[in-house]
A and B are shown apart, each in its own frame.
Chain A
Amino acid sequence: NAGVTQTPKFQVLKTGQSMTLQCAQDMNHEYMSWYRQDPGMGLRLIHYSVGAGITDQGEVPNGYNVSRSTTEDFPLRLLSAAPSQTSVYFCASSGRDRNLSYEQYFGPGTRLTVT
């Protein structure tokens, strides 16, 4: 299993540009999510999905769109990049275990800089 994969690893954008961060998992997990990590603020949930065709907003959704057309893929789109979106982005996936908890598996991250 490759686990959770993310592309690209690094990206530099100019203000106003758009782009899509890719995320895929091969564990047949129902739940996927996107977080951003900023210094001193931990990880904040951007969007999440509890299954194909179902998405919802997290704590900091503004400026981002998601879709979940398949179980495996959960891309994150930046509509018009802003310097405030400079961050490290992590995708995670999980399946519900026998204790009804969700242990999340994280991708390696995408470091995004917006100039």
Chain B
Amino acid sequence: AQSVAQPEDQVNVAEGNPLTVKCTYSVSGNPYLFWYVQYPNRGLQFLLKYITGDNLVKGSYGFEAEFNKSQTSFHLKKPSALVSDSALYFCAVSSMDSSYKLIFGSGTRLLVRP
């Protein structure tokens, strides 16, 4: 069965510092991996995805994520955090044989302090 783990409920970082939000996954076959962001009282917005190819994926708002097959991880990163990055972040996974079914992690709240 597919699953996603986001081990941190909350990540705190100072503005200007690098940030990492962790995600590990379990899926049979090759994974399709996604990051979404949710701002207060809003729906989810797509940030980036890994399907195949280069392990470092660049997405919206300066975010990037690194796919590591041996560690089954897909951590979200940003070199310099902004206060406006404060939000709830979700990692999600699907597989090639059921690519339309996303399984979400429990979410990580990112708090960037000025």
B8 within 8 A of A: no
A2 within 8 A of B: no
A105 within 8 A of B: yes
Query: In the complex, which of the residues A4, A31, A42 has the most CB atoms of chain B within 10 Å of its own CB atom?
Result: A42
Stretch in contact with the other chain, from A60-68, A70-78, A79-87, A96-104? A96-104
Q: Is the pair A102, B100 in contact by a Cβ cutoff of 8 Å?
A: yes
Q: Is the pair A42, B44 in contact by a Cβ cutoff of 8 Å?
A: no
CB A28 to nearest CB in B, in angstroms, measures 15
Count of B interface residues, CB-CB < 8 Å: 27
Q: Which of A44, A101, A105 contacts B99 (CB 8 A)?
A: A101
A34 within 8 A of B: no
Count of A interface residues, CB-CB < 8 Å: 28
Q: Is the pair B106, A42 in contact by a Cβ cutoff of 8 Å?
A: yes
Which residues of the other chain, B, contact A92 by a CB distance below 8 angstroms? 44
Q: Is the pair B100, A94 in contact by a Cβ cutoff of 8 Å?
A: yes
Q: Is the pair B94, A101 in contact by a Cβ cutoff of 8 Å?
A: yes
Q: Is the pair B90, A105 in contact by a Cβ cutoff of 8 Å?
A: no
Q: Is the pair B42, A108 in contact by a Cβ cutoff of 8 Å?
A: yes
Query: In the complex, which of the residues A4, A94, A99, A105 has the most CB atoms of chain B within 10 Å of its own CB atom?
Result: A99
Cα separation A84 to B32 with both chains bound (whole Å): 32
Query: In the complex, which of the residues B34, B101, B106 has the most CB atoms of chain A within 10 Å of its own CB atom?
Result: B101
Besides A45-B103, A48-B100, 20 other A-B contacts (C-beta < 8 A): A31-B100, A33-B102, A35-B104, A40-B9, A41-B106, A42-B6, A42-B90, A42-B106, A45-B102, A48-B101, A90-B43, A94-B100, A101-B49, A101-B51, A102-B32, A102-B100, A103-B46, A108-B42, A108-B43, A109-B42
User: Could you list which residues of chain A lie within 8 angstroms of chain B, going by C-beta atoms?
Assistant: 4, 31, 33, 35, 40-45, 48, 50, 58, 90, 92, 94, 96, 99-109
Could you pull out 23 A-B pairs where Cβ atoms are within 8 angstroms? Answer: A31-B100, A35-B104, A42-B107, A43-B104, A45-B103, A48-B100, A58-B101, A96-B99, A96-B100, A99-B52, A100-B96, A100-B99, A101-B32, A101-B49, A101-B51, A102-B32, A102-B100, A103-B49, A106-B43, A106-B45, A108-B42, A108-B43, A109-B42
